Structure 1
């Protein structure tokens, strides 16, 4: 009996993560924290730690041979390196969405993490932020237990939060890349009728002399509308592009597309299309899970510029926009 062979995909995503991790360590993990402290006035740092951190917590850290700023932020530290806010957010286990969402009112501090930017509004509130974060840090210290507290353990906690963030970012990039490929495919189809174009919108003139807009959007991802009058449109096609390649998650992606298409239907779109980045898709199953979708296409086929699926996509774009074939 011939031995069964197996095919394991290339670990491209993990390779990308490893490259990103090197940069992130330099910017907002323990490596960045240590580098920042190296150039600071330690006496001033210690004074703020004494002001902002409960004495019993400082004693616990000292008993483990750890400095207070490994767990507790203070104003002089965040002022010196605003991006270290990400270090504490990751250490405490908060995603960016949760931390900077409306619930906590911390959105004004996001420029510190993203761009290292301190403004008048967020700068004045840094002491209050540190007090709030110190309470969170105390809860974390109590919850994990002092016996497990080491620099390595705290680094592990940060990485546990960082992993989903990196994967989420990778998924967003895949989704964006998929949208761009479809947008470029449409551009090629309507090229002879283009009046003007930029990175967000293509304006074409159809055979009836009417203006038709093909636009990047967020919900739906791409929409095609005919201009009827000033700020009045005939909504023609709403497209949801799902760029993820993980077949096991295809049901969730189609479900997301269905939610978007339901809103598109309410907005009066004539056609709703879902374009996926998974080649082996059960179309009957997909229609059951997204009954609002008129047509399902695959990115690989639609962006190829050839084949029956592309021909169908092309002919429908031409017919529905009313441009010469």
Structure 2
């Protein structure tokens, strides 16, 4: 009887040890609105994490109403929480400025960065028939901005900033109608923000000749946004590089996450990014150079990976 009991106890002990060794790391990834490109990225990243870790990392993608919500939820989330937001928004939260004024929380100071994801890139898409090849050429044209999105807000800001607000006709329509309206000649162009190649710009360029209008270095400086280059050939008929502005975006967690989990997430992401780019080209636009856009301190686990991989980081990170 004692021998049997010892055998059973030993088997249970081995089972517990084996279970701990193969324990699945579960992570919640707070992304964006379902149907958006950033939600799709979250799904792709979750699949890559599972495949790249041999099933050891399981990522559940949660829909979000926006980056501000993602940051605010840090106050109530645990060690498994990963979210996406522009680095600049984390800075505002930690300093209690803008939309975070009067809403400061100690949890905001615990936010740490993991890795960059594709940036929100401004596209001014004009029909070739409009003859527009520079931002000044939008004067007298009909433009669709859409409503409520970053691209719509940013587009309106640029029109005002560069003296075009009173000389451009703003079409009263949703951005989802932009491609059809452009093809039918109802508008001369539209403004959208998304990681390139942006699906709606790909669709527009495939259905009618378009020009993605570049911004000058002076305009980019004045916008106070980050300069980015859309390489030639990204869209049908695009024969030259297009310089424009972008809003960097990154994945974050908090100090509640243990170092090993942060390390494995960061390592698996970078080592599987090329495979993700084979399916969705926007991942190919994430390079180590984007690390310079992260203004938040890196999680120690992520920093360990960057040091091992020889990827340069800033002293402030």
Structure 2 length-normalised TM: 0.25
Higher helix share: 1
Structure 1 length-normalised TM: 0.25
Higher strand share: 2
The higher relative CO (CA closer than 8 Å, separation ≥ 6) is in: 2
Larger radius of gyration between Structure 1 and Structure 2 = 1
